[in-house]
Amino acid sequence: MSFLRNLAGGLRGLLRKERVEREMDEELRGYLDAAVNEKMRRGMSREEAMRAARIEMGGAESVKEQVRAVSWESLVETLWQDLKFGLRLLRFNPAFAAAAILSLALGIGANTAIFQLLDAIRLRALPVKHPQELAAVRIAERNGATGSFVTRYPQLTNPMWEQIRAQQQAFSGVFAWGPTTFNISPGGPVHSVQGLWVSGEFFDVLGIAPEKGRLLSPADDRPECTSAGVVVSHAFWQREYGGDESIVGRKITIEKHPFEMVGVAPASFYGVEVGRNFDVAVPLCAEPTIRSEFSVLNRRDGWWLTVMGRLKPGWTIERASAQLRVISPGLFEATLPAEFDPGDAKHFLGYKLGAFPGATGISDLRATYEDPLWLLLGLAALVLLIASANLANLMLARASSREREMGMRMAVGATRGRLIRQLLAESLLLGLAGALLGAQLAHVLTRLLVSSISTQSAPLFMDLAMDWRMLGFTAGITVLTCVLFGLTPALRATRVSPGVVLKSSGRSATSGPARFGLRRVLVVSQIAMSLMLVVGAILFSRSLQKLATLDAGFTQNGVLELDLDLTALHLPAEGRAEFKGFVVQQVRAIPGVESAAEAGVVPLSGNGMNRQVLVAKGGQVVEGKSELNEISPKYFATLQTPILAGRDFDDRDTLTSPTVAIVNETFARKFLAGANPVGSTFRVKSESKETGPFQIVGLVKDAKLYELREEYLPTMFMAVAQKQHPEQDETILIRSQVSLFSLISALKRTVQQINRGIDMDFTPIDRLVEVSLQRDRLMARLSGFFGVLAVLLATVGLYGVIAYMVERRTSEIGIRMALGADRGSIVRLVLREASVVLGLGLLIGTAMSLAGSRAAATMLFGLKPTDFATYVLALASLSAVAALASFLPARRAARLDPMVALRNE
């Protein structure tokens, strides 16, 4: 009630302001009249009565001000006045306003963009019903596992999933899923789409309603289903079918098998993997049909699934974990792969299942990008701090020049709080403009960031809509920066005694040593923070450079990977090797092709396989793990990896000839103590069987296998011609000098001439390298950008302070010159001042960088975070820029005309 009345009264006051003011005037006048009359009645003369009444009353204006202060609407009003006044001031100083807003916008924009990405990858809950009830079920501490691993998240096997579904009690529903890619082309060039293997409960447990048709249910996921129904995503429906209404019931070809599309998932649903979207969801039971001979569905050592569940009411993560732990021993006993050796089996039986919070879903991006993004957020925060310090400096300078205005206003009755409010309104105005521009900038920056970490094979899909967290973050940093750069100058500016200010006519009172000291402290901290950013920038770009110029052991440029799928040809197992060899021959015959060879594993593709090997050396047997690649002759010539001893594979190596192998230097070092391995033999253990012996016929130079950062791994190469069970796909590496475009079209023609049923896909190897350096490039680029920005801002700050110092000491310089000081000594005088500030900043900055750069240690390659050369370079470049920034005002000081300088007083 009373609140409403207050609101109504306030609104009346705002809307009918003039009338309210007029009434107040009249009331006060009436009061004064009444007081005068009363005093005259007591016998005072009219003049005396007037005087006494006026003294009693005090200033009419100040009474009115106090009455206004009672009501809330006056706050709104003064705020409005302050904003208008601030706007006018900023309009008078467009250069100041533009510089301030731009530097704030850059700082806020960079912070917001990085935070937005972090929010999307790490913090945001899945867009499903009650996401906080979801939990992931996986083995708590797996510490390695044995078997085949497919999909991005090979956490559990299908037999385990079936046991979990049967035995768990904590969840009202559980589901299993795994990401994959499907070729949906009926023939010819491969058409890859993002696929999901899902158990029948998937959509139900997540609480997803279909957009069209129906979603999958447990009835679709029956064992040995041959033609299951599949669900497509909204995006896929729009992209591939143009949103055609008649999609439900139509067929789609997945890996050459027809499936019926039974429904479309809603647009908001992208699965439970953050950062990716799916195109087609297929029930688990269809896996044997689609993967045929590579099926892992019923394999106890086939890891490919992730399990999640929705907690029953009243169940917590801890209680669910406890129940899962209880069923673990029996569950792993029942799913133990029969072929495991005793060591592997013991490890396997020790596994314990656990439940983990699942509201934010799952993402492999977290492992790769979460730490770098937090680090980048830290760097961006430094940039914003430097920008704030710059603004604070500018505001302080303005405060000095406005102190007469402040003194005057305080003298006529303004309270200090009122003046601080007004100065803060100015900062708020700048902050607001900076935030608005920053938000626009962030919009662009985020998209740039996303595209720079997206890849062709795993395109990134991000929900970048504004949410409360984003808004809160942007608003929070804006207010914080406003307070940072606005409050101290405002407090300083209003801490003047009106009398002192109004009396001192020329020099300002705020230019005293204390005031100037604060400005120097600001510049010192700016230089220190810039140094940190410059060190970071140099560290990351040197790390990237080291990676990019690294000797990978092979030449990446000019090599094309050609993937062929021969499934449609239905080749008998014994004819495959010969057919593949024929294809390679045909490829080599294409004009412009220098060499071509088959490869089981393409270096830097992220794929690989390893085996346990037993090497007889002297009387002993050395056992250990070695990487394996199965290749055809000319593989090393194609990748330009030198053969150091022995020979390459050739036509002599066939199914019937003795089995041979080529090893790399690390293999020779690890198993043969670095001796020339040619002529030695070893055996290979696989699935508890031993094969061999393999005779080593060649030694090759070390090369990177999985990624550029790795240490060289012991690797053995075997001849595809000696392989017992050749697969139905073939990978050929091709080195050529002709353009990629004409090479690809020539390859297409050649392959189609051999057989029209062969699927093919092309990947230039240097693109693999590019992808593997994505994170490093991102770090180098962004930290470089922040570094340049920081140096720019700090330079402006230093220039401002030195220029101000020169102006303040104009008369002193004039006297010195009049007394015979030459220009050089004046320049030295100014530079000495600058070098104190710079030196202090660099000293503090070096200490802070040494402490802070440790956070980057794991992201760097080939250099330590305390790399000496980096620090020297950073210190030198920052000093050079700073010297230039202080030399300009120094030169101006030296060119002063002593007469002019002295008259200035």
Contact footprint for another protein (CB under 8 A): 1-2, 5-6, 9-10, 23-24, 26-28, 30-31, 33-35, 37-38, 56-58, 62-63, 66-67, 69-71
To the nearest whole angstrom, how small is the minimum distance from the Cβ of residue 470 to another protein?
A: 39
Give the integer Cα–Cα distance in Å for 757 and 188.
6
Give the integer Cα–Cα distance in Å for 746 and 804.
70
Of the pair 37, 504, the CB lying nearest another protein is at 37
To the nearest whole angstrom, how small is the minimum distance from the Cβ of residue 51 to another protein?
A: 16
Tell whether the torsion through CA atoms of 770, 772, 776 and 779 is positive or negative. Answer: positive
Are 522 and 798 spatial neighbours (Cβ–Cβ below 8 Å)? no
To the nearest whole angstrom, how small is the minimum distance from the Cβ of residue 419 to another protein?
A: 17
Give me the count of residues in the chain: 905
Of the pair 35, 746, the CB lying nearest another protein is at 35
To the nearest whole angstrom, how small is the minimum distance from the Cβ of residue 432 to another protein?
A: 31
Are 510 and 493 spatial neighbours (Cβ–Cβ below 8 Å)? yes
Which amino acid, residue 357? P
Which amino acid, residue 176? A
Of the pair 13, 178, the CB lying nearest another protein is at 13
Secondary structure (3-state) at 818: helix
To the nearest whole angstrom, how small is the minimum distance from the Cβ of residue 5 to another protein?
A: 5
To the nearest whole angstrom, how small is the minimum distance from the Cβ of residue 403 to another protein?
A: 25
Give the integer Cα–Cα distance in Å for 349 and 40.
108
To the nearest whole angstrom, how small is the minimum distance from the Cβ of residue 412 to another protein?
A: 16
To the nearest whole angstrom, how small is the minimum distance from the Cβ of residue 444 to another protein?
A: 49
To the nearest whole angstrom, how small is the minimum distance from the Cβ of residue 878 to another protein?
A: 52
To the nearest whole angstrom, how small is the minimum distance from the Cβ of residue 376 to another protein?
A: 52
Identify any residues that bridge with 3 across adjacent strands, giving them in sequence order.
none
Token pair of 478 as six digits = 């804006």
Determine which helix (DSSP H) or strand (DSSP E) holds 851, and give its type and residue range: helix 823-852
To the nearest whole angstrom, how small is the minimum distance from the Cβ of residue 31 to another protein?
A: 5
Of the pair 35, 235, the CB lying nearest another protein is at 35
Give the integer Cα–Cα distance in Å for 704 and 611.
18
Cβ atoms within 10 Å, residue 8: 10
Give the integer Cα–Cα distance in Å for 524 and 19.
55
Token pair of 895 as six digits = 């060119």
Of the pair 420, 873, the CB lying nearest another protein is at 420
Question: What is the greatest pairwise CA distance in the chain?
Answer: 139
End-to-end Cα spacing for the chain: 64
Of the pair 63, 125, the CB lying nearest another protein is at 63
Q: What are phi and psi of 118, to 5 degrees?
A: -60, -45
Identify any residues that bridge with 260 across adjacent strands, giving them in sequence order.
229, 251
Instruction: Kindly list the distances between the CA atom of residue 93 and the CA atoms of 107, 433, 493, 520, in Å, as whole numbers in the listed order.
Output: 21, 15, 19, 24
Of the pair 58, 258, the CB lying nearest another protein is at 58
Give the integer Cα–Cα distance in Å for 723 and 272.
40
Of the pair 1, 819, the CB lying nearest another protein is at 1
Give the integer Cα–Cα distance in Å for 663 and 235.
48
Which residues does 49 contact at the CB level (< 8 Å), separation at least 6?
A: 35, 36, 37, 39, 40
Of the pair 63, 744, the CB lying nearest another protein is at 63
Residue in the structure block whose two tokens are 């500018």: 394
Token pair of 395 as six digits = 């505001």
Of the pair 22, 503, the CB lying nearest another protein is at 22
Secondary structure (3-state) at 15: helix
Of the pair 56, 260, the CB lying nearest another protein is at 56
Token pair of 549 as six digits = 């110029």
Question: What letter would DSSP give residue 641?
Answer: P
To the nearest whole angstrom, how small is the minimum distance from the Cβ of residue 25 to another protein?
A: 11
**Angle CA 105–107–111, to nearest 5:** 115
To the nearest whole angstrom, how small is the minimum distance from the Cβ of residue 66 to another protein?
A: 5
Of the pair 58, 459, the CB lying nearest another protein is at 58
Token pair of 454 as six digits = 């997206």
Identify any residues that bridge with 614 across adjacent strands, giving them in sequence order.
623, 683
To the nearest whole angstrom, how small is the minimum distance from the Cβ of residue 70 to another protein?
A: 4
To the nearest whole angstrom, how small is the minimum distance from the Cβ of residue 56 to another protein?
A: 6
Which residues does 826 contact at the CB level (< 8 Å), separation at least 6?
A: 813, 816, 817, 890, 893, 894, 896
Of the pair 31, 887, the CB lying nearest another protein is at 31
Relative orientation angle of helices 371-401 and 513-548, to the nearest 10 degrees: 150
Of the pair 70, 514, the CB lying nearest another protein is at 70
Of the pair 38, 822, the CB lying nearest another protein is at 38
